[in-house]
C-alpha cells in the first residue's frame, strides 16, 4: 500500500482540537502529519523592560501536534516569552502569527478565543468551586430564564471528563482533588475553551514519578489528536523524554537544540548555564557524623505519624523518601511545629524540646524551608533585605526598646547575597521582582541566617534552574561541615543520592527502612520505595 495523504474535515465536538483543522492524515502510518500547517510562527521577537533587554530576536515555529520545550535558568526569558505569546504583555519588536494571522494587536482574551491557553506553574483553579464550574468558568451555560443551567453544565462536564479519561465527578470540589487530577483538570479546562496551543509552565512540580508518567501519557494523547504544547521544565530528563523540539534561552538569546532525542543531559545543562556545571556531590562523611547524636525522635505520633523514632547526628544530612501521605513530609512539618504532635518526644542533645509551633521550633534552633515558597516562604510585598532578616529580628538585630539594627541587617543580607549569588539590583528590590531561583535563595538565606542546629529542607529545589540548585546544595553542604544537621526531603532521587549521608523510607506513617548511602543508586532507592503497598 502506498502513502496516501488527503485533506479532510472532521465532524467532532468542541473540545477535540482536530475539528478546527483540515489536517493531513497518513493512512498508512496513522496520526497527524506534521509536515505542514505552521500553527505558531514567532519572528524575531524582542522585549525590553526599561533599559533591560529580556528577549533578543527570538524565532520559533510550532506545528499542530508538536511538543516544543523551553529550557533556561530562572530569569533567562522563558516566562517573558510565554507571556508575550499568551498576550499578557506586548513584544517590543518582531511579529507573532497564529494560523497565519498576525496577533500583535490581540489581547489575552482574544488570543484565548483563537486557541492559545496558558496553564501557569502555580495553581490557577478555584478550589471552592466544583470540577464542572472550573471547566465552565467564564462560559457558564444559561437556561431560558437567564439562570445557570446546572444540569447541562454537569452533564457536559461529565462527558468531557470521560472523553479525556479523568475519573472524577463533575460535582466534586476542586480542593479535594489530588495533585495529578488538578493538573489534568487545568488542561481539560483549556481544551474546553478550544485550545490549539497549550503552554505548560512547570506542570510536574510536586508530582511523584508515577503521577508524572500519568500526566505525560495524558499530554501525548492530546498531542496525537493535534494539540500543540509549549513545555517548560527544569528537569532535563523529562524534557528529553517528552519533546519534539527544544529551545534553550539564556540571557534573552535562543539556542535551538539539534537532535533533541540524542542530546545528553550534560549537553543541555551546559547550554542552559552557558558553562560547565559541576554537580555538587557530598563527600561522606563529616568529622561529626556517627559520633555526636544531635536530635532524637522517640515514638512520635501525629498527622500521618505512628510511633516514629529516629536519630540525627551532628553534621549529617538525612534524606527522607516516601510518597505523599506516607509520613515523609508530615515528619518534616511536625518537627517544625506546623503539624501538631500528639505524642512522643523530641530530644536535642538529650534535653527534651517542646515544639508546639514554628515559633517554638525557631527558638530551639530548628529552621524549615517549605516546598511551597510562595505561600509559606515569602512576603512578596517586602524587600529582599526584609525577607532575609525577618527570622533574626529579635535574636540578632534587636536594639534596646525594640529598635532594629538596620546597618547590621543590611550587612547580613549583603553577605548572603554574595554567598548564594542572589541576582538582584539591590537588596532593597521587592522579592516579587526576582526569578524563582533567586527567590528560593532568599528563603534559604533567611533560614541559614538564624544559625540553625537543624535545617529541614522540603523539596528545596522545585522549579529552579540547575545552577541555582547546585549553589543551594553547596551552601547546605558548607553549613553541615560547620556542624549543622539537615533533613532533606525530595522526590528527585538522583539529587537525594548526591546530597544525603543516610536515607530513611516512610510507609503507612512509619519508618520501614534505614539505609546508609554507600554504593546506592536510583534503582536501589526505587526498589525500596516501591515496597510501599498501593503506592500512588
Q: Into how many domains does the chain fold?
A: 3
Asked whether residue 225 falls in the same domain as residue 131, the answer is yes
Q: In the structure, what pLDDT confidence band is assigned to residue 129 with cuts at 50, 70 and 90? A: very high
DSSP E strand stretches across 12-134:
24-26, 40-49, 52-62, 67-71, 93-98, 101-102, 116-119
Q: Are residues 501 and 487 in the same domain?
A: yes
- 388 occurs within a structural domain: yes
Whole-angstrom CA distances from 406 to 110, 385, 402 are 49, 10, 12
Q: Report residue 12's pLDDT band, with 50, 70 and 90 as the boundaries.
A: very low
The share of the chain scoring above pLDDT 90, in percent, equals: 45
Residue 284 pLDDT greater than 90, yes or no: no
Q: What is the pLDDT of residue 102?
A: 95
| Cβ proximity of 44 and 57 under 8 Å | yes
* Domain shared by 57 and 107, yes or no: yes
Together in a domain, 93 and 185: yes
Q: Quick one: pLDDT at residue 2?
A: 37
Question: Which among 273, 302, 318 is the end of a domain?
Answer: 273
Does any domain span residue 12? no
Confidence of residue 283 (pLDDT cuts 50, 70, 90): low
* 9 part of a folded domain: no
Is 383 a domain residue? yes
Residues 164 and 188 sit within 8 Å (Cβ to Cβ)? yes
Contact 488, 461 (CB under 8 A): no
pLDDT digits (tens, 9 = 90+) for 469-514: 888 888 888 889 888 999 999 888 888 888 999 999 998 899 998 8
Tell whether the model's pLDDT for residue 122 goes beyond 70. no
Q: What is the pLDDT of residue 156?
A: 93
Angle between helix 466-481 and 265-273 (nearest 10): 90
Q: Average per-residue pLDDT in the chain?
A: 84
Residue 84 in domain: yes
Whole-angstrom Cα distance, residue 235 to residue 284?
26
Dist CA 353 CA 168 (whole Å): 44
SS3 56: strand
Note the pLDDT tens digit of each residue in 39-53: 999 999 999 888 778
Q: Both 152 and 290 in a single domain?
A: no
79 with 100, same domain: the answer is yes
pLDDT in tens, 61-117: 999 999 999 998 777 888 899 999 999 999 999 999 999 999 999 999 999 999 999
The answer to whether the CB of 90 falls within 8 A of the CB of 51 is no
Least confident of 68-82, 241-255, 378-392, 393-407: 393-407
Same domain, 387 and 305: no
Indicate the residue among 213, 243, 273 that finishes a domain.
Answer: 273
Residue 9 has pLDDT above 60, yes or no: no
Residue 454 confidence (pLDDT): 95
Final residue of a domain: which of 431, 451, 471? 451
Which is higher by pLDDT, 503 or 523? 503
100 and 186 in a single domain? The answer is yes
Residues 170 and 70 occupy one common structural domain = yes
Which CATH number fits the domain that encloses residue 349?
Answer: 3.40.50.300
Assigned domain for 248 exists:
yes
**Distance from the first to the final alpha carbon of the chain:** 45
Mean pLDDT on 440-445: 92
Per the structure, the complete domain to which residue 292 belongs is given by 280-365+454-535
Is residue 113 included in any domain, yes or no? yes
Q: Is the pLDDT of residue 15 over 70?
A: no
Identify which has the larger pLDDT, 521 or 276: 521
Give the pLDDT of residue 22. Answer: 37
DSSP 8-state assignment for residue 231: E
**Average pLDDT score over residue span 399-403:** 71
Which pLDDT band holds residue 432 (cuts at 50, 70, 90)?
A: confident
- What's the whole-number mean pLDDT along residues 191-219? 86
Which residues does residue 298 pair with via DSSP β-bridges, in sequence order?
A: 345
Q: Are 115 and 231 contained in the same domain? A: yes
Q: Indicate left, alpha or beta for 457 from its phi (over 0: left) and psi (-120 to 50: alpha).
A: beta
Question: Are 318 and 500 a contacting pair, CB within 8 Å?
Answer: yes
DSSP string, 478-516: HHHHTT-EEEEE-S-HHHHHHH-SEEEEEETTEEEEEEE
Residues 220, 161 share a domain: yes
Mean pLDDT to the nearest integer, 401-411: 81
Domain contains 350: yes
Look up the pTM and report it. Answer: 0.65
Q: What angle do CA 449, 452, 458 make, to 5 degrees?
A: 95
172 and 76 in one domain?
A: yes
Q: CA-CA distance, 12 to 144, in Å (whole number)? A: 26
| Eight-class DSSP state of 399 | P
Amino acid at each position: 500500500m502506498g502513502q496516501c495523504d488527503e485533506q479532510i474535515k472532521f465532524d467532532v465536538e468542541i473540545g477535540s482540537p482536530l475539528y478546527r483543522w483540515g489536517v493531513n492524515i497518513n493512512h498508512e502510518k496513522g496520526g497527524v502529519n506534521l509536515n505542514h500547517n505552521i500553527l505558531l510562527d514567532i519572528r524575531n521577537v524582542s522585549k525590553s523592560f526599561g533599559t533591560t533587554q529580556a528577549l533578543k530576536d527570538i524565532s520559533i515555529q510550532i506545528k499542530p501536534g508538536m511538543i516544543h520545550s523551553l529550557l533556561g535558568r530562572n530569569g533567562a526569558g522563558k516566562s517573558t516569552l510565554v507571556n508575550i505569546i499568551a498576550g499578557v504583555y506586548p513584544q517590543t519588536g518582531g511579529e507573532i502569527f497564529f494560523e497565519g494571522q498576525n496577533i500583535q494587536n490581540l489581547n489575552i482574551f482574544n488570543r484565548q478565543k483563537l486557541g492559545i491557553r496558558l496553564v501557569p506553574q502555580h495553581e490557577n483553579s478555584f478550589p471552592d468551586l466544583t470540577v464542572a464550574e472550573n471547566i465552565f468558568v467564564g462560559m457558564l451555560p444559561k437556561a431560558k430564564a437567564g439562570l445557570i443551567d446546572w444540569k447541562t453544565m454537569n452533564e457536559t462536564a461529565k462527558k468531557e471528563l470521560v472523553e479525556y479519561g479523568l475519573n472524577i465527578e463533575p460535582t466534586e470540589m476542586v480542593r479535594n482533588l489530588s495533585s495529578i487530577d488538578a493538573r489534568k483538570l487545568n488542561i481539560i479546562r483549556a481544551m474546553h475553551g478550544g485550545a490549539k496551543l497549550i503552554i505548560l509552565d512547570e506542570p510536574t512540580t510536586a508530582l511523584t514519578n508515577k503521577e508524572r508518567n500519568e500526566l505525560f501519557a495524558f499530554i501525548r494523547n492530546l498531542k496525537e489528536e493535534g494539540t500543540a504544547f509549549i513545555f517548560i521544565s527544569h528537569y532535563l530528563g523529562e524534557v528529553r523524554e517528552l519533546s519534539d523540539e527544544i529551545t534553550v534561552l539564556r540571557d534573552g538569546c535562543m539556542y535551538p537544540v539539534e537532535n533533541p532525542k540524542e542530546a545528553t543531559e550534560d549537553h543541555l545543562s551546559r547550554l542552559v548555564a552557558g558553562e560547565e556545571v559541576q554537580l555538587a556531590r557530598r563527600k561522606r562523611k563529616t568529622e561529626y557524623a556517627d559520633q555526636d547524636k544531635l536530635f532524637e525522635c522517640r515514638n512520635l505520633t501525629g498527622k500521618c505519624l505512628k510511633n516514629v523514632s529516629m536519630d540525627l547526628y551532628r553534621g549529617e544530612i538525612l534524606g527522607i523518601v516516601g510518597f505523599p501521605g506516607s509520613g515523609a513530609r508530615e515528619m518534616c512539618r511536625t518537627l517544625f511545629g506546623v503539624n501538631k504532635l500528639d505524642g512522643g518526644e523530641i530530644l536535642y542533645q538529650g534535653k527534651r524540646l517542646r515544639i508546639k509551633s514554628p515559633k517554638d521550633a525557631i527558638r530551639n534552633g530548628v529552621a524549615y524551608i517549605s516546598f511551597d515558597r510562595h505561600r509559606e516562604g515569602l512576603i512578596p510585598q517586602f524587600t529582599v533585605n526584609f525577607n532575609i532578616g525577618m527570622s533574626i529580628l529579635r535574636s540578632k538585630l534587636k536594639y534596646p526598646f525594640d529598635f532594629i539594627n538596620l546597618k547590621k541587617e543590611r550587612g547580613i543580607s549583603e553577605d548572603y547575597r554574595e554567598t548564594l549569588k542572589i541576582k538582584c539590583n539591590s537588596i532593597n528590590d521587592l522579592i516579587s521582582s526576582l526569578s524563582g531561583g533567586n527567590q528560593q535563595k532568599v528563603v534559604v538565606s533567611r533560614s541559614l541566617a538564624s544559625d540553625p542546629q537543624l535545617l529541614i529542607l522540603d523539596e528545596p529545589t522545585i522549579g529552579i534552574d540547575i545552577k541555582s540548585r547546585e549553589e543551594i546544595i553547596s551552601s547546605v553542604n558548607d553549613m553541615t561541615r560547620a556542624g549543622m544537621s539537615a533533613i532533606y526531603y525530595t522526590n528527585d532521587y538522583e539529587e537525594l543520592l548526591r546530597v544525603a549521608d543516610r536515607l530513611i523510607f516512610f510507609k503507612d506513617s512509619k519508618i520501614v527502612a534505614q539505609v546508609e548511602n554507600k554504593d546506592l543508586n536510583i534503582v536501589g532507592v526505587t526498589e525500596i520505595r516501591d515496597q510501599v503497598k498501593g503506592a500512588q
